[in-house]
Amino acid sequence: MFEHQSCLQHLLTPFHYTDMGHYQQELADVFRTSWQFACTRQEIASDGDFMTLELCGEPVLLKNFDGQLRAFLNVCPHRHCMLTNEPAGNASGLFCQYHGWEFKQDGCTGKIPEAKAFRPWDRDNSQLTSLALEVCGDLVFVCLEPDATPSLREWLTPFYDDLEFAFRAPLWRMAEVWDFDCECNWKIPTENTLESYHVATVHPKWLGDQLPNERMSEHQLNDRYTTLRYDCDSPMEEKQARIGRYLGGEVDHSYRHWHIHPNIAFCLTDTFNYLATCQPTSPTTCRVRTRMFALHGSKKNPYARLLRYLAWRVGRRTMRAVFNEDRAIFDAQQKGIQSSPHRGVIGTREERIHIFQRFLCNRMNLEVTPHPDNIRAKEEFQDPCHPSRDLLQSGRQS
C-alpha cells in the first residue's frame, strides 16, 4: 500500500533541471558529501589493475596495489596533468603520463626524473590527493569529502548487511557492466526509477500492460532513502524462484527496490540483483552506470551451469530492454521540462519522488512555498463527502 492518499506537491521546478548555478550547488552540497559508487572488486581484481572515471566533476583514479584498493584524484601535483586518461588497464607502477613522476601506494612520490632540479623538496605539496574508499561486498565506493560524511556502513544503513550478501562472490557474481550517457538532467532517470506509474505505458512487453497492484506493493519513506517491495506471484516469477532454490539462493518471492539519496538504486530479485547510479555530468546530461550480479550458487553440475546461464541471460535481457525503453523517454522529458510552464504534480504511486525532492530541498536549503491548489485539494480530499475519496477508497478495497 502507498502511504499517501492524495496527490503531492512537485517541489522542484524546471529551473532545477536546467540551471548551471543550481547544478554547481548540487555538486557541492549533495554529491561531494555523499558516497558514490565507483566500481566493483572484479573490475580491478589483479595487482596493478586500475580504472578512471569522473565523479562530481572530478577525475578519479582507482588502483589495486597487491590487493589493497586505493583511490586518488587523477591529477599530478607537478604540473596538474591527469596521471592517465585511459579508462582502465594494468600497470606495475603509478606514473604521470606527462613527465614520468612515479607515485607509491600512499600517494607519496617515488622516482622522479632529474630529481635534483626540484631542490629544496616540498614533500607536502608533491603528494597525490587521496580519496576515501570503502567497500560493501564487492561494491567499491568513493567519497570526496569524508570529513563531512558518515561511514559507508552508516550511509547504507539499514541495508548494508543485505547488500554485502547480495553483491558478493561466490554466491553472487558480477555478470554485467553497462554504462551509458543520457541527454537529460540526472534527476530525470533517478525519479523515473522511483515510480511504477509509467510501467504499463512504457514497458508493456516486459512488465505487463497493467499497473502493479497496490495491495502487493509496499513503500517505505525515509529522509535518507525510500523503498519498494513488490510481492511477486506470476508464473514467470515462480520459475525464477524455483531456479533460485535449486542453485542454493534465498528465495523471497519479491522484487525489492531500494533508493539511497541522492542517486544510488539497488534492485534485488531471486536470481539477479543490480545497482544503478546516475552521475551528473552537466545541468542537462548525465551518465547511468549499472552493475548486475547473477546468482551463481554452490552447485557445479551441468544442469546448474545451464540454469545459471539461462537466468543470467533473462536478467540481462530484461534489464537492458527496460533501461533502453526508459532512455527513449528521458530525452523527451528533458526537452519538455526546459519549456514547461507547469508546476507539475505527483500522484500517490509516485510518492517516493516527493520524498526524494524533499531531501534535495532540505539538503540545499531550497525554499518551497506550498501551492494553494495543493492545499485546497488536500482539504477537499479530507472531506468525507468528497467523491474522489470514495473512489480511491473503493479502489483500495478492490
Confidence of residue 397 (pLDDT cuts 50, 70, 90): very low
Mean pLDDT calculated for residue range 179-183: 96
Residue 384 reports pLDDT greater than 70: no
Task: Report which of 96, 56, 49 is spatially closest to residue 76, judged by C-alpha positions.
Answer: 96
DSSP-derived secondary structure for 348-381: GGGHHHHHHHHHHHHHHT---PPPHHHHHHHHHH
Pair 127, 143: CB distance under 8 Å: no
Pair 143, 149: CB distance under 8 Å: yes
Query: What does the chain come to in residues?
Result: 398
Q: Which pLDDT belongs to residue 370?
A: 67
Residue 309 reports pLDDT greater than 80: yes
Please, what are the domains in the chain? Answer: 1-34+159-367 (3.90.380.10), 42-148 (2.102.10.10)
Q: Which residue has the higher pLDDT, 306 or 284?
A: 284
Cα–Cα distance, 160 to 373 (Å, whole number): 40
Q: Is 124 helix (H, G, I), strand (E, B) or coil?
A: helix
> Picking from 10-19, 84-93, 126-135, 210-219, which range would have the lowest pLDDT averaged per residue?
210-219
Q: Specify the residue for cell string 553497462.
A: 178
DSSP state of 246: H
Confidence of residue 390 (pLDDT cuts 50, 70, 90): very low
Residue 237 reports pLDDT greater than 60: yes
Residue 372 reports pLDDT greater than 60: no
What count of other Cβ atoms lies within 10 Å of the Cβ of residue 128?
24
DSSP state of 112: -
Q: Which residue has the higher pLDDT, 208 or 379?
A: 208
Residue 349 reports pLDDT greater than 90: yes
Residue 32 reports pLDDT greater than 90: yes
Q: Which pLDDT belongs to residue 211?
A: 80
Q: Is 172 helix (H, G, I), strand (E, B) or coil?
A: strand
Q: Which residue has the higher pLDDT, 261 or 390?
A: 261
The share of the chain scoring above pLDDT 90, in percent, equals: 68
Residue 46 reports pLDDT greater than 80: yes
Mean pLDDT calculated for residue range 353-361: 97
Residue 377 reports pLDDT greater than 80: no
Q: Which pLDDT belongs to residue 204?
A: 83
Q: Which pLDDT belongs to residue 245?
A: 76
For the question of whether the overall pTM of this predicted structure is more than 0.75, the answer is yes
Pair 249, 171: CB distance under 8 Å: yes
Which alpha helices (H) appear in the chain, and where do they start and end?
A: 20-26, 152-156, 160-166, 187-192, 199-202, 204-207, 235-247, 302-339, 351-364, 372-382, 387-397
Q: Which pLDDT belongs to residue 121?
A: 85
Mean pLDDT calculated for residue range 110-115: 93
Distances, alpha carbon 308 to alpha carbons 41, 174, 224, 351, in Å: 21, 12, 35, 36
Provide the β-strand partners of residue 192: none
Q: Which pLDDT belongs to residue 236?
A: 63
> Picking from 141-155, 231-245, 255-269, which range would have the lowest pLDDT averaged per residue?
231-245
Mean pLDDT calculated for residue range 53-78: 97
Pair 212, 335: CB distance under 8 Å: no
Q: Which pLDDT belongs to residue 65?
A: 97
